[in-house]
């Protein structure tokens, strides 16, 4: 439960009390093993998932076996809000590592959103952020070179991971194969391997079984034209300062950080 609120605190910080309508929901915890499907394309979707621990990915398979990974899901991510419309899932979601997931039936979830506008705002932001990530993925695949794509994705995952866990290191524990990266970025595993080898040689990254260290985020950002803005977050350190200053959270139970920021010219 921790991780999930951690992520949301990047947009609004709700007091413990403000979350009770959510906590009171009839929800269950489930564990999926690596490789298991959480959501299967074509099946009715009527539950909302919150990933508490582990990595998952959403993909689509073409008839001839080509696979496209649409996006990665990290701790704190919420999906499939699509289920709120009672439609069939159009993509499959698979666990990369073992995953702890909170599962909530859609109907009571919707009801809760209607009754608690603060929580609704938080989830709405999460949906907006996911949209932004999808759009950025389009730009990445459509108009960037292999090296730019890889660098850009590493930086995004790093930022999202830091946002969810609150950690701030150069290390990115990334349980992902070259084939996964390739299928996410519209490349082949071979070419991903080559490109990442080159990045290692030029001192941008360092790898050690399942973990990537971003050695020079500055340079990497420049090379891959990475700009955090699209994640709709404040810089983390600024956030931390505010949190320290504010103490436990304001009486209204809601701190609209982004709204406040607009006061600057």
Partner DNA sequence: CGCCCCGTTGAGGAGAGTCAATGGCTGTGG
Partner DNA sequence: CCACAGCCATTGACTCTCCTCAACGGGGCG
Element (H, E) at 213: strand 211-214
Site of interaction with DNA (CB under 7 A): 145-147, 177-179, 182, 186-191, 193-197, 200, 207, 209
Which parts of this chain interact with its own copies (CB under 8 A)?
A: 11, 44, 58, 60, 62-63, 66-68, 70, 81-82, 84-88, 90-91, 114, 117, 121, 124-125, 127-128, 131-132, 134-135, 137-139, 141-144, 183-186, 225, 229-230, 232, 256, 258-259, 262
Which residue, among 155, 159, 153, has the nearest Cα to 138 in the 3D structure?
153
Task: In angstroms, give the least distance from the CB of 188 to DNA.
Answer: 4
In DSSP notation, 73-90 reads E-TT-EE-GGGGGT-B--
Give which of its own copies, DNA, none residue 87 binds (C-beta under 5 to 8 Å, depending on kind).
its own copies
The three-class DSSP label of residue 202 is coil
Q: Which is nearer to its own copies, 5 or 60 (CB)?
A: 60
To the nearest whole angstrom, how small is the minimum distance from the Cβ of residue 31 to its own copies? 26
Question: Which residues neighbour 99 within 8 Å (Cβ) at sequence distance 6 or greater?
Answer: 31, 32, 38, 51, 52, 53, 54, 55, 56
Edge-to-edge strand ranges of the sheet holding 67-73: 37-39, 92-95, 56-61, 67-73
Question: Which of residues 6 and 193 has its CB atom nearest to DNA in the complex?
Answer: 193
Tell me whether residue 142 or residue 247 sits nearer to its own copies (CB atom).
142
Query: What are the structure tokens assigned to 174, written together?
Result: 């990334």
Residue (of 194, 190, 209, 205) closest to 155 by Cα position:
205
d(Cα 89, Cα 79) in Å, to the nearest integer?
A: 11
Shorter beta-carbon distance to its own copies: residue 103 or 134: 134
Sorted by sequence, the CB contacts under 8 Å of residue 40 that are 6+ apart come out as: 89, 92
Q: Measured from the CB of residue 19, what is the shortest distance to DNA in angstroms?
A: 38
Q: How far is the CB of 93 from DNA (least distance, A)?
A: 18
Contacting residues for 19 by C-beta, under 8 A, at least 6 apart: 5, 119
Please identify, using beta-carbon distances, which residue of 30 and 90 lies nearer to its own copies: 90
* Least distance (Å) between residue 25 CB and its own copies: 18
Q: How far is the CB of 41 from DNA (least distance, A)?
A: 21
Task: Give the residue with the Cβ less far from DNA, 167 or 207.
Answer: 207
């Amino acid at each position: 439960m921790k991780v999930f609120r951690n992520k949301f605190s990047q947009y609004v910080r709700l007091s413990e009390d403000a979350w009770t309508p959510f906590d009171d929901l009839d929800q269950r915890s489930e564990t999926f093993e690596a490789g298991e499907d959480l959501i299967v394309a074509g099946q009715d979707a009527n539950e909302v998932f919150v990933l508490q621990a582990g990595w998952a990915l959403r993909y689509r398979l073409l008839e001839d076996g080509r696979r496209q990974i649409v996006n990665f899901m990290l701790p704190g991510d919420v999906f499939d809000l699509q289920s709120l419309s009672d439609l069939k899932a159009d993509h499959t979601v698979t666990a990369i590592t073992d995953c702890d997931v909170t599962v909530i039936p859609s109907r009571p979830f919707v009801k809760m959103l209607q009754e608690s506008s603060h929580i609704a705002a938080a989830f709405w932001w999460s949906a907006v952020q996911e949209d932004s990530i999808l759009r950025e993925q389009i730009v990445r695949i459509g108009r960037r070179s292999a090296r730019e794509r890889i660098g850009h994705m590493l930086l995004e995952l790093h930022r999202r991971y830091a946002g969810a866990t609150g950690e701030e290191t150069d290390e990115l524990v990334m349980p992902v194969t070259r084939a996964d990266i390739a299928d996410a970025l519209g490349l082949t595993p071979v070419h991903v391997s080559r490109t990442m080898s080159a990045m290692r040689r030029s001192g941008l990254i360092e790898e050690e079984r399942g973990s990537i260290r971003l050695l020079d985020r500055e340079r990497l950002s420049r090379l891959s034209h990475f700009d955090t803005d699209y994640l709709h977050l404040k810089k983390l350190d600024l956030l931390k300062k505010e949190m320290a200053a504010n103490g436990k959270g304001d009486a209204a139970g809601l701190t609209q950080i982004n709204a406040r920021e607009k006061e600057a010219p």
